[in-house]
Amino acid sequence: MTSYVRVRACPTPNNFFDELIPEDGLDVCDWRLTIRTIPVPVLDTSGAHTTIATKWLYAESSYDEAQLARFGRDKLPTFMQIVQALAGLRRTHLSGSVEFSMFFEEFVKDGVSRNIEPHRVNVGVGILNVRTTDADGTLVLDARASEAEQARQALQDAKDELRITGAGVVKHLGDDFFRRAWESFNLSFGADEHAINHLYDVRDAVTAKFGKDDHARNALGIAKADWSDFGKIFNDGAVKGGRHNGKHPAPLKPMTGVQRAQVTRFAKDLLRAYGRYLDNQATSPKEQAT
């Protein structure tokens, strides 16, 4: 790349992308993502100068200088969507979002870089707790409520599981609707009480991929009853996060714990099935070639 744009961002927590971005990097939608460790000078408790190793997310993509005025509209949003999708993937094993303490947009040409617009971006809130969940999304262990060693082991187990899950998912984030679905899954955990509505966008993304509901169900092996029950929770009552609340004059009520667990579990199942479908699609051409 003789000229390209680069985003340098310092995530909080600093190890947020460890299990998501492979050591040799990740290529998604013309963006190349890598993690680099950079020594940062600090003062220790005695006031002496020292350094700490800090991890930075680097993202680079070929870009023409004449297009820089449009960077924030036609290039940066895709990068932010990738970040949201990765954050959604991380939520399958660990709770919490990511924020960037420092975030720089740069243009590089012939080895010389300059800032496009340096600023701080809050993608979400920092991790407040560490949790492991079972296949249905049920809370198995709350690390803060455990002893230190148990918490450490739980965190490591969750990271190991995330690394395995991530390896199977990130390779397909170039699929526009798959990436959108994971972004929506992450957004559903927002602080706003209506944020759970984004889970419906997961199903919408899948439907858009296959054209019709029945085509999507058949391709992914999703039961019609499960598909319908998910839709009824969002469509058939006055609930916060519902899709047709204007049709229901009753006061809005939050979803029950059972309803939230049901729609979250369905969205996870849908994402897993979508990933398996993409795996099969990637394997089929290879089998035909042999």
Half-sphere exposure of 212 (CA within 13 A, CB side): 3
Q: What is the pLDDT of residue 136?
A: 54
- Using an 8 Å Cβ cutoff, are 89 and 170 in contact? yes
> What is the mean pLDDT of the segment spanning 229-242?
90
Residue type, position 205, single letter:
A
- Using an 8 Å Cβ cutoff, are 108 and 4 in contact? yes
- Using an 8 Å Cβ cutoff, are 64 and 85 in contact? no
pLDDT digits (tens, 9 = 90+) for 158-189: 888 899 989 999 999 999 999 999 999 999 99
Q: Which segment of 37-41, 82-86, 208-212 scores lowest on mean pLDDT?
A: 37-41
Burial 134-151 (b: 16+ CB within 10 A, else e): eeebeeebebeeeeeeeb
Rounded-to-integer distance, Cα 58 and Cα 52, Å? 18
Nearest to 222 by CA among 175, 260, 168, 274: 274
Chain centroid to CA 171:
13
- Using an 8 Å Cβ cutoff, are 37 and 19 in contact? no
Residue 132, pLDDT above cutoff 60: no
Q: What is the pLDDT of residue 259?
A: 93
The residues, any chain, with a CB within 8 Å of residue 281's CB and separated by 6 or more, are none
Phi, psi of 182 (to 5 degrees): -70, -35
pLDDT digits (tens, 9 = 90+) for 248-260: 788 888 899 999 9
